[in-house]
A and B are shown apart, each in its own frame.
Chain A
Amino acid sequence: MSIKIKRNEQGNCINFEGSSNPTYWNACLSGEVDSTDLDTVNVVNDIITATSGVKQYEFYRVPFTDFTDRDGNSFATAQECADYITAQANVVGLGGSGTDLTDVVTCVKLDDTSTSIMFDNGHAFGVNTIKAVDTGDGLITIKSELGDITHFTKLDPLNVCDGDGVTIPGGLSDVINYLNELFTVGAFEAIVIADPYSTMIADVSGVDTSVNYVGYGLDPVGNDVFGSTNSNSQNGLKTVETIDQAGEYFTFDIRVEGVIGFGLIHSQSSYDNGYWSGNSGYADPTRFGIDNSAHYGFQFSHWFHPTPNGSWTNYGANTAYSMRAGWSNFNGTTEQADWLAGNPIKVRCGIDTNGFISIETLRDGTDWVVHARTSYPIQQGSEFHLGIKTNSTSARVYSLPKVHLLEPAAPVMNFRFIESPDNNFEYPLFATEEEANYYDEQNGGTGTSHTHTYTDDPTGTTWYMPDTNGEMSGTSAPAADLTLGQPASYTEITSLSNADLTPAQFSSLDITQEEGTNVNIQVTPAGASWSTSVSITPSGSGLVYDGYSVIQGTLTDVGADTTYTISVTRANSYGSTTGTMTVTATDVTPVPTLDTPWTKALDFSGSSEHTKQISNYSSKNPISMGFTGTTVAAHSTDASKTSDAIYSRPWATSVVFKADRNNSNQHIWNYGEGASNNNDNISLRLAANGDLFLVWGQEGSGSNELKITTNISSLHWYGVYIAFKGQRFSSNNATAANLTDAFDVRIMSSIDSFASVGFNQSGVSKWTSTGLGMGRAFGGNLTIGGRYGNRSFHGKVASMVVTTLKANQVMPTDNEILKMTTDPIKWVNNFKVGNSYRRASFGSASSNFQINQTNSAEGTQVWLMGDGSLDSYANGMRNYIQTGDQNNTKMQLNSMVSNDIETVNINGLT
């Protein structure tokens, strides 16, 4: 058993893999060696311990050998183990002091979408969420834009590189500017690389120093103030005065070609306080000019040599340096010629504004040109004397060195300008009111200034402009400012171009959704300052732009997959952008909503195959009309209603079938007595030619026949609804007109997915045979698939509904007809259950129709032809109203086989 101590950076927590302990958040735990058993380690929960006052352990006296580090390495001691636990459980960086990046080269880039800032140390941040700041130590600190979280500290500007690993040029401010532009996705092409160190305003005239001579160093006869009697390094000139501020420096003149070095020497207190860096022996100020080495005494010094005729090398405790322009471009200058000719040239040694030790010469009498500077900033609190050594007896310091200290009233001046908007330049601008007021005063003003902020300044800084000499409509970037006695170059405030300020182009992944889906697309983020317009083509998508931020709506039903293009245009005063996306509405096959399954049907194939209702009692057969043998008058006042006569026994049927179109005379269903002479039958007959008839006939005597339709197709399913109002005529009155009024006949089909119930087919012209008296009593059975064993049907029947209608009532509506035909189960639930109804042989109505209730089952039969819960070859087809009934309304299967119950798919129903 070993317990691996593993910090989870992503989770900001610590895990003890291999133990049963839970995960702990960062900064909750610490390790300790147990005070009694020194080979064991305790892990203390600092949070609970602090709040409860009682030490709470998470691990107690566990041998340190039971633990390993994250890589599986064992610990040498319990203390090492405890320290490791403490370190892993308390990682700073997400707050507090941040991660120290001393000596760490750090490259930064944006991701391809310019939404994330990626550091090559693995960290990533969203754009506009962090900023680079100068905290005064000459190094860069990376902080959160909002809140006060420090992510990284002590990032040397020389160690910053871009995504290609190229070091970012320039000074501290330039690198900070670069980073902030990157962090805000600014306009990189606008960067001006100009280290603003030269804008320091110290005592320009300077003050003569007092100097001491060391070793072979001396004040030679004549005007020169320093020379050496020996060419080794045991000599020197050292000022009594010191400098300790960024921007302070020494100046002096040298002349005569020879090896000579000049740099800064720590004061004794500065050295004793440990402000030196590098080799402590070299940095020791007491060794200056004593030891025979150029290094001794200097923190950093720069040396001229006759062979390169100028800059040669550096000596000191820490010679890490940055070679600057003066090192190489000294050749050919007037200053070089003067030096070689023995004429004095002016040298400056000091601390630049970024805290580096800088060695410079004066070029053309106006510009200080840096030859070398340290690559490291000096530590706050450092204090330096000027030191000069020579390895030549001929080299000279010509003038007494001067010290240039910052004038108390002169702030550090950083001259800035901005191009805002494009091609308009404003300057000078200062970050502090103090600078601006100083500038104003030095230029004849009264020390006043005003402020500016710029919408295209990604930092949102308030800048100060002096009231005197301020320019707010310049046409080009300013040249160096010369009003303060020395040239002061400008640094540009990075501003975003119009292109940068144009709203970012809208982009979004394309969307594909089913028709009828609610869609909500945010096209404008909260707080956006631009205006947005939206177009959607083609029209009819169902989506609407709310005028501000969201496109929403329900995708319209489509006949086929349809793609809509959404164009989003964002605009502000700097321009506009347009982005597009598409929304594809996919066509979805409607989900059936019928309660009736429509998965089965009975297949009839002639040969006497048919089903027969068990009971032939009139009380169980609505079409029997109570076995009454009488004529019945139509409704006395309203021809649209069922008859209100005493023997009115109206009924309705509906059947869904598909015919094979066998060339024979067939009965799809039949109620009656059979094929013998004088047998009475009511049937739905399919003629050999495909014509479909409603027949009210008496064998041997004739029939009343309605041709419902002609030439039905074998490819489609049909639903035929027949409703009888109850009036029964004598032969004389069995006219086409009266018969027309007595029936409501509809035909539906899968051609239109059973969408329409159509019109009443009972028309005068469609009664092709009339004149048969209707006053005879009807007995016998209801059969489906034939008239008993003859006129057998060839085709499938998926459902059959037979029901009584109540007397003196309006006929079923189109909606009820549709439901009875296309969804018998729903028809029962919606139109029958709970309502009054008429029992099969009764004239009056009964109340409260119910499923599984015998009287209700007598009045209505619904056969689902295999979809009923008890339907089977053995059980027969049960009446949905009373599936348990086997004696009255069950359909028994005659001459049929078990696989005549077939699976079907009916367009519009299944």
Chain B
Amino acid sequence: MPINTTTTVRSSDDSQHPFDDVESVSNLNVIDNSKAIVNTAGEVISSKAGETGYSHTGAFAGKPLTNNYVWESGEGLRYDATDVSNGTYKVFSLDKDVHLAVDNPYWSTPAPTGVKNIGLFEGENLPDGFTSLIDYDFIYNDNYDASGSTGFEGSTGRIKLNECVYGDQLRVRFDFNVIPQIANTTIEPALWYSNRADNDDITFTFPLTASPVFYGTGTVGNTYLNRIEISAWITSNEDVNALTLPAIKADNPVIIQPLGILVTILR
């Protein structure tokens, strides 16, 4: 029998969700009971009726241990003058320790699965057939030349696309704070993206950019939340095997506080 229900998930953890925003809304229509996940009481707690799914993590490397991995006012990752001069897309790594510290379910109903290394939802809400969308264990320098020039050098973690199929669309919502240090600064958020051949050789590296964001006079020293959405298609083996992490480029030094990414696979 079809179930028609709406589930709204609202954050109660202000450190991760400062605006008490709606974390997710799923309107499940015509749920196929044969694919519904039920608990021992027979209640529907999740569903994989649709093939679309997502994962979220706030496990950005650099979050301060001294403040329970919550950015303090004015602190953050520096996009400095050297980065400006070089026109660098600064890649933001993921850190397993941070993941374990911050990606903890804040709800009790439905009961979290308790499975780690997958994301905040502990494996729930993933697209059909996926085991994870985040690889916290990936260390770039262990696999490639640490003194190379791909832009991933020194990075850790990656958005894992290996379980995608041709035709999937990757949609990443990149949440971060920006603190302009100089007036009239333009930032360009992006996914830093490397296609890889089946043997994991990197073939092409490029940014998949979102629209630039401009900070004019009167913005310096203030903190601005951005929730940028970036998309990519998955249409070849090189896409399925791609490396990608969020990144930012700017024309002036800025302080970035990466907060989280919501990785969605659309079908």
A residues whose Cβ falls under 8 Å from a Cβ of B? 1-2, 19-22, 36, 42, 48, 55-63, 66
Contacts and interface: CB of A to CB of B under 8 A. Distances in A.
A48 B221 CA distance: 14
Most A C-beta atoms less than 10 A away, residue of B180, B217, B220, B252: B220
Interface stretch (B79-87, B135-143, B158-166): B79-87
Interface in B45-88: 74-75, 80-82, 84-85
Given A36-B74, A63-B80, A63-B81, A55 B183 contact: no
A48 B75 CA distance: 24
A20 B182 contact: yes
A21 B253 CA distance: 12
A61 B181 contact: yes
A19 B182 contact: yes
A423 to B, nearest CB: 67
B122 interface: no
B95 interface: no
Given A19-B182, A36-B74, A61-B74, A1 B85 contact: yes
Nearest to A57: B221
Nearest to A34: B74
Given A59-B220, A60-B221, A63-B81, 4 more contacts: A20-B252, A22-B183, A60-B179, A66-B253
A60 B181 contact: yes
A66 B185 CA distance: 16
A21 B255 contact: no
A62 B180 CA distance: 10
Most A C-beta atoms less than 10 A away, residue of B81, B85, B182: B182
B148 interface: no
B253 A22 contact: no
B124 interface: no
Contacts of A66: 81, 253
Contacts of A21: 182-184, 217
Interface in B188-244: 217-218, 220-221
A2 B252 CA distance: 11
A60 B218 contact: no
Nearest to B81: A1
Contact of B251 (A20, A57, A63): A20
A61 B85 CA distance: 18
Interface of B: 74-75, 80-82, 84-85, 179-185, 217-218, 220-221, 251-253, 255
B184 A22 contact: yes
A60 B185 CA distance: 12
Nearest to A16: B182
A58 B185 CA distance: 12
A62 B220 CA distance: 11
A62 B221 contact: no
A59 B218 contact: no
Contact of B218 (A20, A42, A55, A56): A56
A19 B220 contact: no
Nearest to B82: A1
Contacts of B217: 21-22, 58
B180 A19 contact: no
A61 B184 contact: no
12 contacts: A1-B84, A20-B185, A36-B75, A56-B218, A56-B220, A58-B182, A58-B220, A59-B220, A60-B74, A60-B181, A60-B220, A63-B80
A289 B217 CA distance: 68
A20 B84 CA distance: 12
Contacts of A56: 218, 220-221
A131 B253 CA distance: 49
A732 B255 CA distance: 113
B64 to A, nearest CB: 13
B74 A19 contact: no
A167 B220 CA distance: 53
B255 A61 contact: yes
Contacts of B253: 1, 62, 66
Contacts of A55: 221
A377 B80 CA distance: 55
Nearest to B215: A20
Contacts of B182: 19-21, 58-60, 62
A838 B131 CA distance: 97
A19 B251 CA distance: 9
B163 to A, nearest CB: 42
A19 B184 CA distance: 9
Contacts of B221: 42, 55-57, 60-61
Contacts of B80: 63
Contacts of B84: 1
B184 A62 contact: no
Nearest to A66: B81
A59 to B, nearest CB: 6
Contacts of A19: 182, 252
A57 B81 contact: no
A373 B223 CA distance: 66
A19 B254 CA distance: 13
Contacts of A1: 81-82, 84-85, 253
A63 B255 CA distance: 12
A59 B251 contact: no
Contacts of A61: 74, 181, 221, 255
B251 A62 contact: no
A332 B65 CA distance: 94
A64 to B, nearest CB: 12
A493 B252 CA distance: 63
Contacts of B184: 20-22
A29 to B, nearest CB: 12
Contact of A60 (B81, B180, B251): B180
Given A20-B182, A20-B184, A66-B81, A57 B252 contact: no
Nearest to B252: A20
Contacts of B181: 59-62
The 4 A-B residue pairs with the shortest CB-CB distance in the complex, in nearest-first order = A57-B221, A20-B184, A60-B221, A1-B81
Nearest to B186: A20
A61 B80 CA distance: 11
Nearest to A43: B220
Most B C-beta atoms less than 10 A away, residue of A59, A60, A66: A60
Contacts of B75: 36
Contacts of B183: 20-22, 58
A56 B217 CA distance: 10
Contacts of B81: 1-2, 63, 66
B126 to A, nearest CB: 40
A413 B80 CA distance: 69
A21 B184 CA distance: 6
A776 B64 CA distance: 117
B99 to A, nearest CB: 27
Nearest to A61: B181
Contacts of B255: 60-61
Contacts of B220: 56-60
A62 B84 CA distance: 13
Most A C-beta atoms less than 10 A away, residue of B85, B180, B181: B181
Most B C-beta atoms less than 10 A away, residue of A22, A55, A57, A66: A57
Nearest to A60: B221
Contacts of B185: 20
Nearest to B85: A1
Nearest to B86: A1
A15 to B, nearest CB: 13
B76 to A, nearest CB: 10
A58 to B, nearest CB: 6
Contacts of A22: 183-184, 217
Contacts of A20: 182-185, 251-252
A63 B252 CA distance: 13
A493 to B, nearest CB: 55
B198 to A, nearest CB: 41
A66 B84 CA distance: 12
B134 to A, nearest CB: 31
Nearest to B218: A56
B224 to A, nearest CB: 13
B62 to A, nearest CB: 15
